[in-house]
């Protein structure tokens, strides 16, 4: 009896594997994101910084806006706007996951993005801002804006999405 070995990051349809694996990945991202944010909030006070290496610190920072603090100084409407954007994005991602459940790399990308979007939306609803704590810096350039696990998952998901699309285009 032989079994067909499945590739972890295959971008070709393998038959509808369903939504559950992808929802599981998103749930893991949400869990890790929320646990790390709770730990940082219990350990640090706002603005407190702990040097870890010459290029990395932990810091408790809040972001009411979007990436890189975009719209951070607005009076509060962005909380609901970005939560709404996350809800719409999650709905669209669920549709795409159901439609393309067998395209593994594509679905990994979507699941990571969905988990990150939900993780940050939870913060917006619970606190009115996103909790950030990962602070990378280079002496010649200064500090990169602080971010979190959800942001990281979104970035990795976006990179996987681009990689998958480039592979698909190059095959044609």
Catalytic residue among 123, 132, 135, 164: 132
Give the E-state strand segments of the chain in sequence order.
Answer: 49-51, 56-63, 130-138, 142-143
* Residue 13 C-alpha from the chain's centroid: 24
Catalytic residue among 33, 123, 135, 151: 151
151 is catalytic: yes
Question: In 60-148, which ranges are continuous DSSP H helix?
Answer: 77-99, 104-127
SS3 content of the chain, % helix, strand, coil (to 5): 55, 15, 30
Active site residues: 132, 151
């Amino acid at each position: 009896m032989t079994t067909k070995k499945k590739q972890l990051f295959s971008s070709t349809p393998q038959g509808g594997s369903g939504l559950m694996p992808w929802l599981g990945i998103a749930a893991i991202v949400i869990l890790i994101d929320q646990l790390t944010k709770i730990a940082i909030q219990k350990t640090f006070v706002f603005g407190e910084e702990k040097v870890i290496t010459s290029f990395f610190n932990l810091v408790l920072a809040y972001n009411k806006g979007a990436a890189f603090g975009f719209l951070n100084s607005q009076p509060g409407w962005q909380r609901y706007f970005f939560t709404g954007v996350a809800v719409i994005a999650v709905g669209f991602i669920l549709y795409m996951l159901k439609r393309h459940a067998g395209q593994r790399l594509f679905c990994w990308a979507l699941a990571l993005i969905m988990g990150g979007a939900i993780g940050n939306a939870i913060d917006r609803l619970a606190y009115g801002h996103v909790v950030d704590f990962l602070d990378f810096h280079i002496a010649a350039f200064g500090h990169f804006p602080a971010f979190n696990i959800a942001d990281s998952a979104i970035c990795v998901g976006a990179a996987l999405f681009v990689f998958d699309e480039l592979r698909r285009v190059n095959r044609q």
